[in-house]
Structure formats: structure tokens, C-alpha cells
Structure 1
């Protein structure tokens, strides 16, 4: 296996793992691309224009973005720019990689321990067995013969991951690739400004250009495949409603032939499946949406309502992605601590009448299915291999590799494809040469100030990385700014003070997916949360960090005092507000009633003990914090509350913030936020600037996270 050695570093080209003095160094996808470019061009001056073309492709970026990327790679390599060991700055010309490069060969048995952590963990009996080397070699040879479609093997790895083709070069976010029945073209959706458009391109470069397909939809959101008659099945929005449609592509137009009467659920569907044999649609449910946890909704295309059946997973698992091929289902599920399991099921067993959920008999004992294998990280997707003797899945975040795992033999995963960008969404098979089609994504977000404030003198330059910086939050007792960043590979919390660089304040070992960030009023505690887990970090390093798992999905988290915070949780279709102390003890729960649905409880952030309660998705109430504890339902609290304002549109719960007696929330108009004074009868008004994603505000100062770069393309493997 080929590795590159330079200085105190070793870079394994097959696994894309860099070690410095024997320790693994985390690199984000763009840093990996830059390092590979330098290694391929040693002792040569490379201009910024070359780096822009090699890393950002056709997207124009500023010199500052290039400088930051080089600086971040230097930091990862522990390289001093004043006395460089690896990357030398050549004034007015560019950069030169000055380290001596040596190619070495490493036997598979001597893989670094950190590399082996990426491999699937199998059954205890398989782990305990110790095969003689001669038997292991014979088994491996047999496996390679049987699995000839795998592009790489342990004995003959490709030195570079060049056996792929990029099929698109266009702006927008690509998703949902489907190979046409003649295996000559790929259909996909390209999202720009939130709207999806259908495109068609060749599966081989140089044959045809990518062309848009005209559709009658305001947005097309998912391609499910073809039915037995050759009609394309899609999920799309038409006349303001989401639905499933069938149609034919004729002369560059999608012509609707059938429309299902099935209604889309009131949530975003990450995954849809369709089987032509039964002409049926399937999607996974979660308890937060009013469905039984880990259940499957399914219906014939001509039905008017969905049936629901259990996936029969143990409680620790949450179903995430799945694929159906004939009667076989491969399912990817996650645990609260970020591990993954791959399960194999028979579709007929799931949807058989005796498997349908009996909601009145939920406590009936049933044996849960076991995973075929587990992974010590959160994989993003899974798909069947061509012969269904194995599966294809993504590696640990940032998910830059596709791996193949046999389900019939206990061997290590095989590398199928590797990219510097994040491998996203669906994996589709090409029934020629056992190839696959998939999409990638590379998105950079920066934290930026908005507008000019009266306190602009204390605004400072924010230390953005070349990666993903997001979800800012102001400190309450200082001018410090906190935010999340993926600059180290894993998502971590960073803190920046004026006139200083951002410093990492968390040390999460797993790849976590955070949705919020907040600080206690005295700044002694930092909270962040995933969909089901809350993390409580102490600013005082003498105190232990804490975590707790919840049932249902977390929608928002707000500090009410130095010791109490409120968590909005959706479970079984209902929202409740749980209140916890800093010992992670639940001290109260507030639920809705027939008249009022509770959504969120927020501090007014004015130093007092009053809070704002969001009710029925659009009405704001002002009430004393103490009144919340006087009753378990919202009715008792409302009796002591003052209704401030009822808005014309639902409030996105996660996004809303409070500052200077103003309630701020996203409007239905993309990029525009509204503000309304927290006084009785106040009228909402637009904020005077465009806002990217998350917003934080303090004393009239505004900071948001903004998308500064997005590239997303469709690719295919080239099996050798």
C-alpha cells in the first residue's frame, strides 16, 4: 500500500490519513486536496491561480480564502511560515512545497491503529478467530475473484483514486441521481435558491452535454426510479402541494401521466424508496413526527393513505437511510452516541399483515433484529452492491470515501472511491461494469458581522477557517463570540475574543451533528445539542462536562437563569418543554392543552425573571418564570401571562432570537428576517439586511453564518 513520507509526516494515499510523528492529524476535505496537490507538485512554485483551479474548480475565490487555507494546513503540519519545513511562501508568485518526498510501501497488516478504527466491528466470534496467514491469503484471493467489481483490493490498491469520472460542472446542489433504463444517461435534481430542477446527462463523458428537463413543477424534490412501464416516479411540489407523480421525458419535457392521491407528510423526507414490482412507495418514520419510532410507511401508488409497519429495531437505534432492491432491504441506523449499524431485512416480512403495528399493544414482547455489522462513527448512507452480497457505505465524517463491505465473509472494507469533498445523499448502481453514481458536496460557511452597530468600535475580525463555521452565539458577560466549526475535521466549539484568534474550547472525540449553541447568563456553562442529545460544557475546567439523551427530537434550547434551561422536544407529534438544571435533572415539564400548543420558552435577556412563551406557533406571551412551575399544562401559565402579539406566519422554532426587547425570526421570504418589539400590539418589520443561516444578536450587534462557497457534482466510478 503506497504512502508518502515527508519530514515527520506520513500520508497514506489509500486511506487519506495523515500522521505527524505517529499521531493522526485531522484535515478537512479542502486541506486534504491542498496537501495532495502539493505532494503532486513538489519543489515547484505554484501560483494562487493554480491553487484556485485545483481546489475550487470553476468558482472564483479571494486571495484571502487561499491564504487562510494554506495557513490552516501549515498549522496542521506544525509548520512555521518564517522557517518552513514544508510550505514556503514565494513573494508575489505563490507557494512551494519544499519537503523531500519519499514513497514507501506499507503492508496491510501494519496499518496504523487509527486507520483500523474506521473498519466495521463484527461479531465477537469473528473477532476472536485467528486464521493462519496461508489460509487468510487464500480466502482473500477467493474474495477478490468473487468480488471483481470492487475497484480496489488490499493486495493491489490503486496509488491514486483516479478511477472515477465527474459527470457535471455546474453551480447548484445535486441530489437524487437515477440511471435511465438504457444505462446511458443519469437523471438528477439540481437545487438553486431552494428550488429543484430536473437535469439529464450522460454516464460517459464526451457523449452529450448535461441538459435541463422542463417540468410542470414549482420544485422537484426526489427521483424514485422507474416503474415497469418505463415511467419516471418523482416527488415534487405542484400548485403549492407536495405529491408523487409519474411521467415520461419527451423532447426535453417531463409529461405527467399519473398523479398519486397519497399526501406527503408534514416534514422533509430525507429518503424515499419505490419498488416497481409492487408499484409502492416507502419512507421511514420517527417518533417525533407522531409515528411509532422506527417504523416504515408504505402504500401502493394508487392508494389514498399509507400503512405503517415496524422495522423491529432495538430502542437504542434510530433508522436513518435505507434502500430496497427487489424484496431485500438494507437499512442504516444510528445510536445517540454517533455509532452506526447496517441491517438486512426482507421487505415482505416488514409489510406482512402480522407485522403491521398494533398501537394498542405496544408492550408486546418482540425479538429485535441485529445489525450485520456496526461502525464506530455516523455513516451517511448505504446501498446494495450489484449482486447484493455486500453493501456500499460512506466512511466517517466528513465522509469522503465510499467503501464496500461483504455481508458473507468477515473481511475488511474495500475502498471504492475517494474524494476531497463530502459524499452526499443517494448511491445509484449502473448495470454496466458494476459501477456506481453518486453526488458530492463542498460547502463553506463563514461567521460575519451584519450592518453597522453603535458599538462597531468593539466589533473585531472573525477568525473564519477554510471549512465550515456556523451557529454563532454571543457571550453574555463579555464581548466574546462562540461558534461551531469543522476546521479540525470534527465539529468543535470555538471562542474568540477581540484582537485574538479563535480557540477551541471543546474536545469532542466523535463526529457529532449539532443544531444549536447557547451560553448560560453568567457564561459558566455552554450548551449544544444534537437531535436527541444535550451536551453541557463547563467553562471551569475543574468541573466535568455533562450529557443527557432524550426521547423525541430536540427543537430548541434556551437558558432561563444561571441554573435552568428549557428544551423544546417533539415526540409522537406533540411538543413539550422540559426544564433542566445544570445537574442534568429534569425539574419540570410543560405540555400543551386542547386550547394551546406550547412551542418554546425563552428568556427576555433583560436581566429580569420574565420569559417569552411561544404558543400555537405564532403567538407570543410575556409571563413570570415562576408561573411556569405552578402548573403542568400551559393553561395555568397562560392565566398569568400577557399576550403581546400574534404573528401572521408560523415561527421557525430553532431560528428565533431575542435582543434589546425585540423578537427576531425568519420570514417566509428567503434571506429576510422580521423583528417585532416585545410590547402589546407591536407590528413586525423587516430587518435592514439579508441574513444567511443562523443569527445571533446582542445590544444591537448582529452576527450570522453565511454560505460563501458551494460546489456539488455528480460522479461515477470506473470499475477496473
Structure 2
């Protein structure tokens, strides 16, 4: 399972999921999957064809003009005069509709089209009433620094000389290359190895900068005041930068030409769905880009290609969609291949290879761990990513996942690494959180600090008698369960797992002898006195919350 957007998939997801399925005569149309199914045979629609059908479903028996469709469906995309007619023809073909004797789309001469098929929403209720969305305590100010570390050539040669790469020592130091106020994300070096683009959040909005790491000169890529800018990606030669500009009401991709630190005016290349914040990257062909797009804010992402030759998009073969979908991808350093990081229904993180020339998708390997965001190594023969939670390492796997090497280890938490353009180093974001726990008295409306250390304390839950609070603490370097006695103000460590598990929810048993702890795809029952944990015999899948019933032996 990934870090990315997990906690955005709340109950709204299920409401929107159900509202995006339609019954159209003998067809079932799913906007989310962009599929049209009849008699158990599913056909995937092109993105714009799916958008057009969705618009017709919401405007049944109304005459809609071409101008109206261009405004509402294409939303400012660059299209030719006959684009609407061609797309209607494609949709009719998918629905097997005869334009001369239409059962779905009627052409109204000189006025437009009328959708007469009588589509109805499929409103099957989501049955997860007993599940609860995990709650994350509010984070205090996070201080993030962008680091770049140097792998010594001697270590690399030594690594090749041994049969097992895991024996190579990890790099223990890194060099900071930014020091702005706020939080910094998504670093990307241009081909010259000097210019760095990165995002910064200064407390108000996301900003995008290009920095000369030798001279210190820095320029901001600005757009409208109310819109955030970034992330961004360079082309292979470092002469073009593509980036996102968006807010909840707008989503657009732009390209700027660069000559050193001088840049051209922005050129709009694609208008994406409002609320979609997917990354976009150049392939090795400057006129072909890959991007991730969602149907709306909080919805899962799918991957598409964008051709600048004819301004067309194409859905790409990709893993089945779970949680946040397929928004984590990387371009191979030399070949026309994608690396896609995507969770499966069991919450295992899968790493997939997509050949862009043959459109063949293949699974490389899976890991049952709380990790995220694999990228290709510089040689294209390994997968590099941050280590298991709490992610203080950069690790490398062989393409079958059989061998693991720690490349970097440090004291801070790390986020997705990126390849440096010098074909040797990696650049990544490093940060630290300090999440504390406060107690609020409803009677006197006063808040006091309960747990306030220099490390994270989170998921605090009071025992039924309110004398103790169970919580998760990271002081040992891993997530462990602790108890806080509210009467004596003393703390005690309950568990000694010393692994990479990540807690999402805690719940006391009514007799206060046990605590149910929800991790990625499992529920553990922990004995409060002994600290021993026993996983429940449940299938591995996504669980959103855990609670005890009034009967001591039942969990829901």
C-alpha cells in the first residue's frame, strides 16, 4: 500500500463510486473504470468517449449543442471543428447504435444531439457501515529538507564484485541543496546537473522554483495567484519543463522552453479534470508525455499518454485500480518503459513494467510492506525506493524482488527518491514530524497537553475507565504500542515488534485487557499486560477501522 492519498479515500469515495455507475438499456457503464459492459463482456472506452457518455447520462432527453459539449466536456482542450461529430460516432459504435434509426443518440439537425436511451444510476449502497475512516492527528510544523547523496565509485565497484549486493555498506551522509522556508517536494535535475526544479509549500500555496545549484540563483514559475504550481519534469535535454497548475476548480498542464535560467511564456498543452493533481513527465520523445489523472478530487488515478503531435490522449494498460489508483510511475532512463507502483486488493505494493512500444504490462514483484513510489535505478536493472515505514532508508531491489540493498540510511524520514541527471546520485526529500497528543475537557472547554515529546505520538485512545491512554510512539525507530497512565503520568512500552508495521487504528476491549490494532491489511489483538500480539485469521485486504462490540469476544 502507498502513502500517497490513502487517507483521502473516505466515505465520499464510496458515494461517488456508486453515483458513477449507470444502467443504459442492456449496458452497464462505469465512469470510474471507463468501461461499458454487456452480458459479462466489458469494453474499455477512450477517456473522452467516457466523458461524453457520462455527460449524456446526466443530460438525458435534452438537446445539447456542439458548442455546449465543447464547453462542458472538452473544457477548453484544443480540438478541431469536427471533433464532436467524430467522438459521437465512436460512442455510437461502442453502443452499437444506428444513426439512421437511433436508440441511444439522436441527431437534431442544426441544434445538436439528444440522448434518449433512458440511463439510470445504479445506487447499490456501500455496506461498510461498521468501518471507520482512520483519523490522523494534526501534524505540527514539518521541517523538510531536500538532500542529495553521493554514491562512492569504489562502493559501486565493490558491489559488482560480490554475488550478494546486500553486503555493500549504505551511504550514511547526504548534502542539503535547498533551505527555503516551508516544505519542499518533487526534486528534478535538468540534464546539465546544475538546474534543479522543486515544489515548495510556504503555508499559503504550492510554488514551483528552478534553482541554479552552483550560483544559488533561483526563479519562480508563476501563474494565477490562487493556483498552486507543480510538480514538474524536465525533458531529456533540459530545454523544456512540463508542469501542473491547479486548484480544486482547475487543472492544467503547461510547457515552458528554457535557455539556462531564462524561460519562455507558458504554453497550455492539456486541461485535466478539476481536482486532479497528477504528475506529468516527458518520455524520451518530447512530443509524447505520460500523466496521471483522476475523475475528480479524491478519486483514484489512471495513467494516460498525451501526444503533442495531434493533441490526443490514450489510456495505458495498467494494474487494476485500488485505493489511490495508479499515480506513481517513472520513465526508464534509456528505454521506452514505465515502472508503475500500485497496491493490489490485499494491500501488497506491486511493481509493474509497461513497455510503451508493445503496450505489454508485466508484474516484476510485490512486497507486503508500507512502502511507496519505486523508480528505475540508473542502470535500469533495479527498482529504487524508500524503505519500509518509517522510511529512513533508500533501498534497491533486483527486478524480481529477490535481493535487496540499502543504498542510504539516515536519521530523518524520507520520501520518494529521484535519479540525478549525473547518472550516479539520487535526490530526495527528508523530513521530520513531531505529532503530539492533547486532551480536551468538554466540561470546562480547556485543552492541556498529554503527550508532548520530540517524536511522534499518535492514535491516542482512552481506556473505558479513562485512566489510561493507548497510543503509538516512534521513539524506538519503529511504531510500538505504549500506555500512558493519566493518574501517575507514567508511560510504559507494551510491544517490542521492531519491524516496519504501520498502525491505522486502535481500540480497547471493554474489559481493558486487550487492544485491537489495525495495520495495513490485518488486525492484531494485543494483550495489554504481556504485549503479545495475535493476528486475526482474516483475509488480507483493506480495513478502514476496528472497534469492539459490547461482547468481549467480538470485533467489528
Question: Normalising by structure 2, what TM-score?
Answer: 0.57
- The aligned counterpart of 2:415 is 424
Question: Among 377, 385, 388, which residue is 1:396 paired with?
Answer: 388
Q: 2:222 aligns with which of 215, 221, 226?
A: 215
Structure 2 gaps of 5+ residues are 1-142, 146-153
Q: Deviations over 1:108-155 (max 9, x none)?
A: xxxxxxxxxxxxxxxxxxxxxxxxxxxxxxxxx99838969x9x9888
The structure 2 residue matched to 1:516, chosen from 488, 499, 505, is 505
1:231 pairs with 2:240: yes
Distance 1:463 1:210, change over 3 A: farther
Indicate the residue corresponding to 2:253 in structure 1: 244
Question: What's the secondary structure of 1:260's corresponding residue?
Answer: strand
Task: Confirm or deny: 8 A CA contact 1:224 1:235 kept in the other structure.
Answer: no
For 1:220 and 1:550, the matched residues in 2 are separated by: 38
Q: 2:197 aligns with which of 187, 191, 194?
A: 187
Partner in structure 1 of residue 157 of structure 2? 144
Does the residue aligned with 2:272 lie in a helix, a strand or coil? Answer: coil
Q: What 5-or-longer segments of structure 1 have no aligned partner? A: 1-55, 59-140, 356-368, 565-580, 585-720
Describe the SS at the equivalent of 2:418: strand
- The Cα offsets for residues 258-288 of structure 1, whole Å up to 9 and x where unpaired, read as 2412325x5665x6544252523233889x9
Q: Is the 8 A contact 1:273 1:281 kept in 2?
A: yes
The offset of 1:424, in angstroms, is: 0.7
Corresponding residue number in structure 2 for 1:282:
291
1:248-647 → structure 2 map (5 Å cutoff): 248=257, 255-263=265-273, 269=278, 273-277=281-285, 279-283=288-292, 296-300=303-307, 307=315, 309-311=317-319, 321-325=328-332, 326-333=335-342, 342-350=351-359, 369-371=362-364, 377-407=369-399, 413-430=404-421, 432=422, 434-449=424-439, 454=444, 462-498=450-486, 499-506=488-495, 508=497, 510-519=499-508, 523=512, 526-530=515-519, 532-537=521-526, 544-546=534-536, 548-549=538-539, 554=543, 557=545, 559=547, 561-563=549-551, 582=554
Q: State the 1:446 CA deviation.
A: 1.6
CA contact (8 A) 2:207 2:220 kept: yes
- The alignment of Structure 1 onto Structure 2 pairs a total of residues equal to 395
Distance in 1 (alpha carbons) for counterparts of 2:450 and 2:283 = 50
CA displacement 1:532-563 (0-9 Å, x = unmatched): 54445465869955364565x55x53758525
> Offset at 1:211?
2.5
Q: Rate the CA distance shift 1:377–1:408 in 2: closer, same or farther, 3 A.
A: closer
What is aligned with 2:172? 161
**SS of alignment partner, residue 364 of structure 2:** coil
Q: What SS does the aligned partner of 2:502 have?
A: coil
For residues 669-708 of structure 1, the aligned pairs below 5 Å read none
- Once the two structures are superposed, residues 188-229 of structure 1 have per-residue CA deviations (whole angstroms, 9 ceiling, x without a partner) of 0012326211122234xxx22262414114212422333889
Relative to structure 1, is the Cα distance of residues 495 and 225 closer, same or farther in structure 2, using a 3 angstrom cutoff? same
- Cα distance change of structure 1 residues 420 and 310 upon mapping to structure 2, 3 Å threshold: same
Q: CA separation of 1:502/1:491 partners in 2, compared to 1, >3 Å: closer, same or farther?
A: same
Residues in 2 aligned to 1:397 and 1:557: alpha-carbon distance in whole angstroms = 20
8 Å contact 1:215–1:253 — kept in the other structure? no
Distance 2:527 2:159 in 1: 54
Partner Cα distance (1:299, 1:491) in 2: 42
- Distance in 2 between the 1:445 and 1:482 partners? 15
* Secondary structure at 1:444 match in 2: coil
The separation in 2 between residues aligned to 1:392 and 1:543, in whole angstroms, is: 32
Q: 1:156 Cα deviation (Å)? A: 7.8
Secondary structure at 2:411's aligned position in 1?
coil
**CA distance in structure 2 between the partners assigned to 1:145 and 1:165 by the alignment:** 23
Change (3 A) 1:380 1:409: closer
